Chains A and B, each alone.
Chain A
Amino acid sequence: MNVKVDKTVLASVALHVLVLGWVMLSFSTKALEMPPEDSVPVDVVSSDQLSKVMAGMKTGKKENPKPLVEKIAEAKPVDDTVGKISDKAPVVTETAPPPQPKAEEKPVEKKPDPPKVVEKPKEEAKPVEKKPEQKVDQIGDTIKKEEKKPPPKPVQAAKPPEPPKQQRIVERHFDQNQIAALLDKRDPTRQATTGDTMNSNAALGTAKGTAADNSATWGAMFQRQVERCWKKPYGGIESQKPEVAFAIRLKRDGTLEGAPVPEGVPATPFLRVYQESALRAIIECQPYKLPAAFYEEWKYFAPVFKEKV
């Protein structure tokens, strides 16, 4: 079956197709290359709600009782493992020399001292004679032993007065072996506010997302390192504006996986020398110390050497 078509009409159609096709192609390129943006969670607020918010009425109904971002933890009773200083009973002494300063000076050895001091100064010699070495060697052990049998010595010596006993109960002592017990074990009142706590709209990210681009960080580190080895050739006073680029692959330890691949063939002898100088620098300065976290980014990249503008 043959269709009769006027040649001019055909030419016209062909031209239209060509022109329109060209227009579609050339005008659409920019739109196609637009980088996709990361999605941002948005709450839709009606004008009604907005006006209510803006009104700020005290009696207004609470629209959003549960804040999305911050979560306030319930206040838990704090269990103090050590004991509070405020709980300490006041020390009552009559004429005795003040035991407090001593307690401050040597809190470790302190426990049985007050009674002795109060009673007889002579008695002090006894405990010292009994275990002088142990005290020096192992403070912790000494303390434990003394804790187990604190009464005997004072009892043997004489009947100690009441106040010292009270003091012994509340006395705080510092034990290096139990530092962990001193840590504040209360739950934090603030909660983590990242990830899905912050943003309930989970986003998968975009193919061309710029969020993962840390080249400013590791690129600057690479630049500082490679510059130390770069003996830039002298190009005279004419501005030759040389620019050479390489594609390089790095291993995790920062060494080159293979020889850097130069982009393009230098057009002039000077450009060749410029390219060679950069190549020498890349090879000489390895291994490069770059952040391991961004290895996926710097394992393959293109350093571009160019004249300072």
Chain B
Amino acid sequence: MLFRPSRRQIITGMASAGLLMAGPRAFAQAPKRVVIPEGEFTPLPIAITNFVAGTPGDAEVGVGVSQVITNNLKRSGLFAPIDQAAFIERISNPDSPPQFQSWKQLGAQALVLGRMTRQGDGRLKAEFRLWDVNQQQQLAGQQYFTSPEYWRRIAHIISDQIYERLTGEKGYFDSRVVFVDETGSKERRVKRLALMDQDGANVRYLTKGSDLVLTPRFSPSTQEITYMEFGQGDPRVYLFNVETGQREIVGNFPGMSFSPRFSPDGQRIIMSLQQGGNSNLFVMDLRSKSMTRLTDTPAIDTSPSYSPDGSRICFESDRGGKPQIYVMSANGGGAQRISFGEGSYSTPVWSPRGDYIAFTKQGGGAFAIGIMKTDGSGERILTSGFHNEGPTFSPNGRVVMFFRDPGGNAGPSLYTVDISGRNELRVPTPGFASDPAWSPLLS
């Protein structure tokens, strides 16, 4: 087999090979790099102006919206709203660019302007603009229409927009919290199911208080709540629709059913059923009402919680002697213990982000709230004291709410803490409050 290249072909081949080898080496003149490795986290200074009244008579709601946004951002711990008394420029038209220099003087890095206008049909139009003071650029701008009585929700939605644009994470302000409201003396405590905005406003009561209610849980996808109620006999798991006010018993089983929680799609409820001296995990399909057993052990398995993708479950079990946290497939099967610290672990709850599991840890005479990664590593105690219990994640997984009982004659209150352990704050409630559960974002 012979190949006969012409001389021309040979020369061309050699030349191209040479070119290939002596390929151009471009040395681009790169600027000298100076590394700025420091920089502690600092709350972002932000100026939030009162929303201008587009129509007379809406000045009050404009101030209200501004106050709700200010309160939300301040409570998040990530922003430092600047006192309005220091403002130099008075905003009369939020559509024209502000005098950035006057805001720069205050040290503001972001500026919020807005307007509330009553529409002809009685609805309220809310407009807002978020400005970057240094770059003199608009970062966000939106308008919303709503019934006048829902102006607080508009304020929460705008807060979420600002939060997301300036932190890169989803917000959590447009959400609600269901909790057990407690009134009366310690011996005759009346416990009612209550619902409120995440900032403590708009409290309303869902039950009358004649029966004891415990462990309310929000559906991750619908406006439904499941909870446990001690009626005339054994405690039962109930389903409650927030919008319609309807409630129903989930299944009818012999013995106690407790610690219910929704699956991520809201179509199933996972719970514990007591059988003799032990309890096991069951999942019930809300449509077909069919029950599936997930564990079958002589121990107490309880407090199950789904991972956000619905593939796994974390739960509490004393099968190893003391209550510890276990993780297993959502279809049952072998469970893997993930908590190995001193003391006992209970009430595990999976973060909506899927990265952490929050828990109550008991040991050394104290109750602590902590988080750990889903494989049990990176355990971190967020707060510790006489009695802290019942963690629940904010919709963005950045904040944990729990209740704290100081002991004595006082009752429990709700608190929030960042998952880094910073910024612990009390959530205002009308009376004592326990067992909070955070809803998903409403919008």
Contacts and interface: CB of A to CB of B under 8 A. Distances in A.
Are the chains A and B members of one assembly?
yes
Interface stretch (B35-43, B140-148, B323-331): B35-43
Contact of A303 (B5, B34, B168, B169): B34
B34 A274 contact: no
Interface string B1-43: 1111111001001000100110100000011111111111111
B64 interface: no
A7 B2 CA distance: 6
Contacts of A279: 134-135
A21 B36 contact: no
B36 A7 contact: no
A308 B132 contact: no
Contact of A219 (B23, B34, B43): B34
B135 A283 contact: yes
B34 A236 contact: no
A280 B135 contact: yes
B104 A284 contact: yes
B32 A301 contact: yes
Contacts of A308: 37-39
Contact of A233 (B13, B35, B168): B168
Interface in A262-309: 268-274, 276-280, 283-284, 297, 300-309
Interface residues of B, number: 47
Contacts of B17: 14, 17-18, 21
Contacts of A211: none
B442 to A, nearest CB: 21
Contact of A283 (B4, B6, B134, B164): B134
Chain A CB count within 10 A is highest, among B31, B45, B165, B420, for: B31
Interface residues of A, number: 58
Nearest to A269: B168
B20 A232 contact: no
Nearest to B423: A234
Given A2-B6, A230-B36, A302 B30 contact: yes
B283 interface: no
Contacts of A21: 17, 20-21
A273 B168 CA distance: 6
A155 interface: no
A4 interface: yes
Contacts of A236: 169, 398, 419-420
A235 B104 CA distance: 25
A169 interface: no
Nearest to B33: A302
Contacts of B23: 25
A302 B13 CA distance: 44
6 contacts: A3-B7, A233-B167, A269-B164, A284-B104, A308-B37, A309-B37
Given A5-B4, A5-B5, A277-B44, 9 more contacts: A6-B1, A21-B17, A231-B43, A237-B420, A271-B168, A280-B132, A301-B32, A302-B31, A308-B39
Interface of B: 1-7, 10, 13, 17, 20-21, 23, 30-45, 77-78, 104, 109, 132, 134-135, 164-169, 355, 380, 398, 419-420
